[in-house]
Amino acid sequence: MEGFGFVVIAFFVFVAITLAKGVRIVPQGEEWIVERLGKYQGTLRPGLNIIIPYLDQVRYKLVTKDIILDVQEQEVITKDNAVIVTNAISFIKVTDPIKAVYGVTDFSEAIRNMIMTTLRSIIGEMNLDEALSNRDKIKARLREGVADEAIDWGLTVKSVEIQDIKPSESMQRAMEAQASAERERKAMVTKAEGHKQATILNAEAQLQEARLQAEAAITLADASAEAIRRVAAAIGAEDAPMRYMLGEKYIHAIGNLAKSENAKTVLIPADIQETLRGILGRKP
Residue 149 has what pLDDT? Answer: 83
Contact criterion met (CB below 8 Å) for 84 and 167: yes
Least confident segment among 4-8, 53-57, 91-95, 166-170: 4-8
Looking at the chain, how many residues does it have?
284
Q: Hey, what CATH topology would domain 67-167 get?
A: Tetrahydropterin Synthase; Chain A (3.30.479)
**Cα separation of 235 and 239, whole Å?**
7
Q: Is the pLDDT score of 34 beyond 90?
A: yes
Give the confidence band of 236 by pLDDT, cuts at 50, 70, 90: low
What percent of the chain is predicted at pLDDT more than 70? 75
159: phi then psi, degrees, rounded to nearest 5: -165, 150
Residue 44 has what pLDDT? Answer: 92
The pTM (predicted TM-score) of the whole model is 0.56
Least confident segment among 86-90, 103-107, 149-153, 221-225: 221-225
